Amino acid sequence: MTRIRCAIYTRKSSEEGLEQEFNSLHAQREACAAYVLSQKAEGWVLLDEPYDDGGLSGGTMERPALGRLLADIDAGRIDQIVVYKIDRLTRSLSDFAKIVDILDAAGASFVSVTQSFNTATSMGRLTLNMLLSFAQFEREVTAERIRDKIAASKKKGLWMGGNVPLGYDADGRSLKINEAEAKTVRALYVLYRQHPAIRRVKEEADGLGLVTKRRVAPDGTPSGGQQFTRGHIWQVLTNPIYAGRIRHKGQVYEGQHDAIILATDWDALQKRMQEGAARVRKGRPRGSGKVQRSGLAGKIFDETGNRLTPSHSKSRIGARLRYYVSHRLIAKSGEGGTDGWRLPAPELESTVADLIQRHLTMPGVVLTLIPDCLASDVAQLQDRLQKVLAAGTPDRILEFPARVDLAPGRMAISLDRVELARVLAVPNDRINLELLAIHAPFRLRKRGVETKIILNGKTRPVDEVLLTNMAYAHAWFALIKGGQTTSEISKATGTSKRRVQQILDLAFLAPDIVRDVLNGNQPLGFTSDWCLRHTLPSDWDAQRKLFATL
């Protein structure tokens, strides 16, 4: 008789009731275990490992227990998943298709205790798809109803929950004024009328001892009562709730709560703040309060001798992006068949500055630069050069090159003899011309619209942040196997539950990927920030294919 290893998966969307001695997860597991026992004659064997996701939505695959379950299926340790109902596994049709693909690849299947389905047949899959389509439809309709109800309630001026703002206490579906905190709100508005600059308002508020709202979380954790940040002050000054109004999705409606600030005074202050912001923008360079210099302007050329010209564009959020572009691309803009260089300015400038700094900090560089240098002068000249390099900004170091030449796979930097002589306080003709040339092979790595300049042979530093998060992932995974929930880990570590779930993905990395991270050889695009925006596949081969694109 063939032995069929069964794993029970349970899930509950909310955390309500999970603290009870016998909760929904226990009930699901008990029903599934009884069903597996009833199939003992068919060779079904229940595995001891629990796969329980408490307080997690079925609309996402980002669930620790589900991740472990799929990983164990890939590893061949499970033959069949047993669930109480199909929607315990997933409520998303697209996620269901992914899970079925994983099961098919591993030769596994799943069974619903309350619904008779066989995923091995086409009719069974059709029925499952229909059922899951309705489950997904139900979830989306419910979300739409909730959003519509919130929008309709806010149009009526009702308070629909969330963090209660400074100056108010919750009062059912409305707010009531907290006079002690309202004094702080009024004081901030008065301070801005007296000193129409957020920076000055913060200084004065700190001097008066004004602090943020004190709050106590449901678990008893206190927060607030701190000095105001400039961002917090700006939020208080621009929040229409203090004028007796409710804001929702860019629209403002009359509220049913009392105002702390007269509506006419609030409107006048908004107009004053907008006028002040317009004056500041008018008096400074476009796009930023800080002028961004192109330190290699006029110094950098491509393999044809064509100069690379500083250029810029803007991202979708309005951030200014600087580039160095072959002049022919600008001169023949719009014409087809013209090729050239387009490199990110910060990346190129950083690479050139790094090459120069490494070149001028080599042992014995002064003796090589000035062959006739007296031994008694070496230490003084070395100290003079190192002070400039250590204290100099990238812009300052970019004053050293006289010319930078780019060609496919190689970069040549010619240092400015006059500038070096000036820094060392020696005559120009004492500088050795041979040491003024720096040659470095490099390659370009494109990732989406981003271009990275990678110097050949340059050792990359180990990503300490990524390593730390991987250590957290394994530690938290051990706690989960010991019976703790993500909510308990979140509370104990002071980390949001979503962040805990995101980091847990790192506990399931392929061994060779872990080794690459330890050695600093992981793909350039694989960072902790990338992990925040993407979901890691549990399949190791899928991970390797994904990382090959980063």
Q: In this structure, what CATH number is given to the domain that contains residue 221? A: 3.90.1750.20
Shortest CA distance to 157 belongs to which of 258, 253, 241?
253
Can you tell me which residue has the tokens 């709202």?
Answer: 213
Is residue 160 one of the residues assigned to a domain?
A: no
Whether residue 491 sits in one domain with residue 450: no
Is residue 135 one of the residues assigned to a domain?
A: yes
Specify the number of domains making up the chain. 4
| Listed residues 421, 455, 489: the one ending a domain | 455
pLDDT of residue 287: 43
Is residue 154 one of the residues assigned to a domain?
A: no
Distance CA 94, CA 79 (A): 22
pLDDT of residue 196: 84
Whether residue 172 sits in one domain with residue 137: no
Please give the distance of CA 31 from its chain centroid, rounded to a whole number. Answer: 41
Whether residue 472 sits in one domain with residue 361: no
pLDDT of residue 237: 92
| Listed residues 455, 472, 493: the one ending a domain | 455
Is residue 159 one of the residues assigned to a domain?
A: no
| Listed residues 252, 282, 312: the one ending a domain | 282
Whether residue 414 sits in one domain with residue 484: no
Whether residue 317 sits in one domain with residue 343: yes
The token duo for 420 is 């070096």
Is residue 370 one of the residues assigned to a domain?
A: yes
What is the phi/psi pair of residue 261, to 5°?
Answer: -115, 135
Whether residue 397 sits in one domain with residue 333: yes
Supply the CATH number for residue 115's domain: 3.40.50.1390
**DSSP-assigned letters across all residues of 192-226:** HHHS-SHHHHHHHHHHHT-BPPPEE-TTS-EE---
Is residue 291 one of the residues assigned to a domain?
A: no
pLDDT of residue 286: 43
Q: Quick one: DSSP state of residue 459?
A: P
Amino acid at 493: T
pLDDT of residue 178: 92
Is residue 105 one of the residues assigned to a domain?
A: yes
Whether residue 425 sits in one domain with residue 541: no
Distance CA 450, CA 54 (A): 39
Whether residue 380 sits in one domain with residue 307: yes
Q: Identify whether the C-beta of residue 364 lies closer than 8 Å to the C-beta of residue 376.
A: no
Distance CA 189, CA 102 (A): 59
Whether residue 98 sits in one domain with residue 20: yes
Supply the pTM of this predicted model.
0.38
Tell me the residue range of the domain where 438 lies: 300-455
The segments of the chain whose pLDDT lies below 50 read: 281, 284-290, 448-449, 459
The token duo for 404 is 């930078």
Distance CA 37, CA 34 (A): 5
Whether residue 444 sits in one domain with residue 304: yes
Please list, in sequence order, all residues whose beta carbon lies within 8 angstroms of the beta carbon of residue 343, skipping any fewer than 6 positions away: 308, 323, 324, 325, 444, 451, 453
Whether residue 445 sits in one domain with residue 325: yes
Query: What average pLDDT does the structure give for the chain?
Result: 81
Please list, in sequence order, all residues whose beta carbon lies within 8 angstroms of the beta carbon of residue 215, skipping any fewer than 6 positions away: 163, 222, 223, 224
Whether residue 139 sits in one domain with residue 198: no
Is residue 67 one of the residues assigned to a domain?
A: yes
